[in-house]
Structure 1
Amino acid sequence: MKDALDVVMAWQLRNPDVKDPQAAIDEVKRTREAGGELTASLIDHFLRLTIRPPFQKAKRPEVTAAGRRNTKEGIATAKQVDWFEEDSPWKNDIYVLDLLHWVLRSLNTHLIEKHWPMLLPPILTLIDDHETHNRATGCHLLDTLLRTTPPSLLKKTGLGSVFEEALLPCLTFLPQITPVEESFEILNAAYPALIQLSHVQYPSTLPLTLQKQYNKDSTQPLPQTEITPPKAKFLDRILRQGILTGYLHAGDNPRIATVLFAHLASLIQELGIDSVKHLKDVLPLLSNVLSDPLGVAYPPLLIAGVKAMQACVLNGWPRIDTWRGEVLRGLAGAWLMLESENSGDVEEVKRESVETLAMLVVTAKSEANSDKDMRTLVGADGRLEILLERAMEVVNGNG
């Protein structure tokens, strides 16, 4: 109540002749919701007196006290990791992380620049912690921070590469070295943070109207018009070193493969037309998974796989005609495998398969060849007739 009364007092001093209390009440609500005086005071209080003290022992040689990248020669490259609880007092104060979550959600572009130096040590310390859960929490926190961070601030501080170096190792936490549950948690936290980093570190050129809209609603990802070469290179690296390498090492685990395919779809969507360079690696992999007879044992993997294939068709359509056979192989294999199944997840796989085939028909450069290929498949197995009919209904607007 004290902080709320401070807001009321300040408002009354600015409006000495107003007697209606509703306007003062609205001011308290506004400051709580929009980062006004009350929120700004609480953020400053929590950061200085509650959040910073438990993380004082966490030294970050790559970051200066002002929250910039340390470029001095001879700087230590090894990160200090707190392996013992007595060296990590924040582990004994769980509420500190809850407050940090609240602070990050309450920041606006002005407050984030003001408190930038105090925000970095806790987040980077969590990402470098030896406990996987803490690493995942750090990834979530960095993702939240980046959703409010202006690209100009990241460029000025030079910390984009520091965030890259902190996040990329999280993609290597895979079975058999890492337990499946822990791997599932950290992968689901690291990939969104890396994609959000790509938005801020490599911003696309936007019309002025869109830039203003983004500044008003900074919780939304920065929309892109045309991907820049540095951003494409960064996303390529994530896809190759994260998704493809991760699947090579842990693709036999269906839960991990499902996670990788889900984020593969997001990366393909981010790359847009630049994703065509990956079709030769991605589409055969997806087709093999979709046509695997054992896939019915874990339908979520098939759902993620067919949605990733949709992203490939949608974004790589200028070259998809070359890979039409791989797409048809995967869709036909999945349909035949699930033809006699009727659970909820299986129906979703079938529905998404129909949508994908419809996309392929629409985007195909050679309609005659596409029709010939599909008719050949139907001739080989009549059960595929239903798949083709439903896809054509979607194409014609009747499905």
Structure 2
Amino acid sequence: MSLDSVLAGLRVPSDFNRYNDIPERDVITRLDRWKEDALRTLKELQTRVVQERAELSLKQKADIVSTTSVFDCDAAWVTPDSGAVARDILHTFSEPPLPLIVQILQHTLKPLFRSNPHPSINLETGRKLTRPAGGPMASQDFYDSQTWKESPGASNVLLWCVRNIPSTAYEDLWHLVIPPLMALLDDYEARYKLTGVRITSVMLERVPSTVLKRTGVDSLLIASLSRSLTQLQSPETPRLLPAAILTSLTLIQLMTSAGSVERFDQLCALLGDGIIGSIWPYASDRLPALLASIEALPPIIAILGVGCARYLKVLIAQLVHPLAPLEYEKTSVELQISSLRALSAVINACPERIPHWKGTILNGVARCWVGIVDPPKTPDTREPSADDRNLCEFYADPKQIQ
């Protein structure tokens, strides 16, 4: 069997995009059988790569990496065994030469995303356009003809490339990286947004800040990450919100200098407009979204420092409320513990302002401690541990917030 035939057998069926929503049992059976066949094919490919690596052309190596990187993820078409074999194959191509990355970006990914170009990106340069191409309705046209979704796992191919692009090569490859990345970030489905956020996070580890600023993509990324915070009802919300918040924080630190007005304004926008303004008003009955946003608070508060005093009233109110909610309102031990940790960050950031709120904090913490030591008859989602009790006892001591 030729190498092309082996790789063709590993092309993921597009039906996997709707795997969890397929009602037909025969389709599920067919896809499960494909996963079993894919494992055997991956093992065959692994053997051939070991035996023929020296004779493989650049195109063949690119095809192998593009095919196997699709299995390096947690997806419906991947089993633990197939994922392990795929990672072993990819390890063979660790520290890849730049021409291999260019081959994948140019000839595998670019054709997939060409049908629906992002309206704010110049496809030839990767720069931000001064005005959206296609006029006011361009954002709606952007969601038509999304042929790249017919190739499940295409985002993993981009992730492999971004992980391996040297810092010095980003400027030359910018026009190949940014269009597919922005297509993922600004997609209307949360699962693709999440993938785009993860790829952005990896890219920010290496990309020079000068390239981001000169091309105007930094502002596009901030805007896209901010829009991700409005996804409050999808299954990906508990992962998407903290990932978008922390990636925004990384981008802000990369693009601004410590102590600058610009950094302060962007941090305030992330905390005030993003978390407080876009998540909390709509998350009172959506505990996963609320929990995810509160878990991401401490790093922002630590960097913003005393600057978060401008939001102290709403921060204290939100973080104390889950500790002792009204009888008809929901909470959980996880939410209470996350609120206490965020409350600790606020106390450390604004010690001079805390005495004014001592009564409010002590009241909530004491009620939380009583609820954990003497819980109601209706069990919570998790039995409180010794660490949970110790944390509440710590905050119930007035000396800790003086």
Whole-Å separation in 1 of the counterparts to 2:321 and 2:146: 46
2:388 paired residue among 330, 349, 362: 349
Q: Which amino acid aligns with 1:93?
A: S
What's 2:120 paired with? 62
2:355 paired residue among 287, 311, 321: 321
Cα deviations by residue, 1:277-305 (Å, 9 ceiling, x for unpaired)? 21111012211211226689621111111
Whole-Å separation in 2 of the counterparts to 1:229 and 1:357: 37
Whole-Å separation in 2 of the counterparts to 1:160 and 1:44: 23
Q: Residues 127 and 166 of structure 1 are in contact (CA less than 8 Å); yes or no, is this contact kept in structure 2?
A: yes
Cα deviations by residue, 1:67-94 (Å, 9 ceiling, x for unpaired)? 222236998454355445xx22211212
Q: Residues 313 and 356 of structure 1 are in contact (CA less than 8 Å); yes or no, is this contact kept in structure 2?
A: no
2:309 paired residue among 270, 276, 297: 276
What's 2:85 paired with? none
2:370 paired residue among 336, 343, 347: 336
TM norm structure 1: 0.69
Aligned: 1:51 with 2:90: no
Q: Residues 306 and 349 of structure 1 are in contact (CA less than 8 Å); yes or no, is this contact kept in structure 2?
A: no
The alignment partner of 1:59 has SS state of coil
Whole-Å separation in 2 of the counterparts to 1:49 and 1:274: 48
Runs of at least 5 residues in structure 2 that lack an aligned partner in the other structure: 1-48, 57-89
1:31–1:297 Cα change, 3 Å: closer
What's 1:263 paired with? 296
1:227 paired residue among 243, 251, 259: 259
What's 2:86 paired with? none
Whole-Å separation in 1 of the counterparts to 2:251 and 2:373: 42
Cα deviations by residue, 1:237-274 (Å, 9 ceiling, x for unpaired)? 22222222322212222222211211222321231221
What's 1:153 paired with? 211
What's 1:120 paired with? 178
Whole-Å separation in 2 of the counterparts to 1:249 and 1:190: 18
Q: Residues 81 and 129 of structure 1 are in contact (CA less than 8 Å); yes or no, is this contact kept in structure 2?
A: no
Whole-Å separation in 1 of the counterparts to 2:312 and 2:196: 32
Aligned: 1:194 with 2:252: no
What's 2:341 paired with? 307
The alignment partner of 1:94 has SS state of coil
Aligned: 1:110 with 2:168: yes
Cα deviations by residue, 1:36-88 (Å, 9 ceiling, x for unpaired)? xx34232112111111110012223322221222236998454355445xx22
TM norm structure 2: 0.69
Q: Residues 272 and 316 of structure 1 are in contact (CA less than 8 Å); yes or no, is this contact kept in structure 2?
A: yes
RMSD over aligned Cα atoms: 3.1
Q: Residues 120 and 129 of structure 2 are in contact (CA less than 8 Å); yes or no, is this contact kept in structure 1?
A: yes
1:75–1:162 Cα change, 3 Å: farther
Whole-Å separation in 2 of the counterparts to 1:192 and 1:168: 11
Q: Residues 322 and 331 of structure 2 are in contact (CA less than 8 Å); yes or no, is this contact kept in structure 1?
A: no
1:259–1:339 Cα change, 3 Å: same
Cα deviations by residue, 1:371-394 (Å, 9 ceiling, x for unpaired)? xxxxxxxxxxxxxxxxxxxxxxxx
1:89 paired residue among 131, 136, 147: 147
- Report the CA distance between 1:115 and its aligned residue: 1.1
1:314–1:355 Cα change, 3 Å: farther
1:247 paired residue among 255, 259, 280: 280
Q: Residues 290 and 331 of structure 1 are in contact (CA less than 8 Å); yes or no, is this contact kept in structure 2?
A: yes
Q: Residues 126 and 134 of structure 1 are in contact (CA less than 8 Å); yes or no, is this contact kept in structure 2?
A: yes
What's 1:367 paired with? none
Instruction: Identify which range, 312-321 or 72-81, moves more after superposition.
Output: 72-81
1:136 paired residue among 194, 208, 220: 194
Whole-Å separation in 2 of the counterparts to 1:306 and 1:61: 43
Q: Residues 117 and 142 of structure 2 are in contact (CA less than 8 Å); yes or no, is this contact kept in structure 1?
A: no
Q: Residues 365 and 392 of structure 2 are in contact (CA less than 8 Å); yes or no, is this contact kept in structure 1?
A: yes
Runs of at least 5 residues in structure 1 that lack an aligned partner in the other structure: 7-28, 205-225, 365-399
1:165 paired residue among 223, 231, 243: 223
Cα deviations by residue, 1:102-124 (Å, 9 ceiling, x for unpaired)? 11122231122221111111111
Q: Which amino acid aligns with 2:343?
A: M
Question: How many aligned residue pairs are there?
Answer: 311
Q: Residues 31 and 39 of structure 1 are in contact (CA less than 8 Å); yes or no, is this contact kept in structure 2?
A: no
Whole-Å separation in 2 of the counterparts to 1:109 and 1:96: 23
Whole-Å separation in 1 of the counterparts to 2:191 and 2:149: 12
- Report the CA distance between 1:135 and its aligned residue: 1.7
What's 2:399 paired with? 361
1:71–1:344 Cα change, 3 Å: same
Q: Which amino acid aligns with 1:300?
A: E
1:83–1:76 Cα change, 3 Å: closer
1:76–1:106 Cα change, 3 Å: same
1:356–1:116 Cα change, 3 Å: farther
What's 1:394 paired with? none
- Report the CA distance between 1:193 and its aligned residue: 2.2
Q: Which amino acid aligns with 2:139?
A: K
Whole-Å separation in 1 of the counterparts to 2:280 and 2:367: 20
Cα deviations by residue, 1:109-149 (Å, 9 ceiling, x for unpaired)? 11222211111111111122222211221122222222222
Whole-Å separation in 1 of the counterparts to 2:253 and 2:99: 30
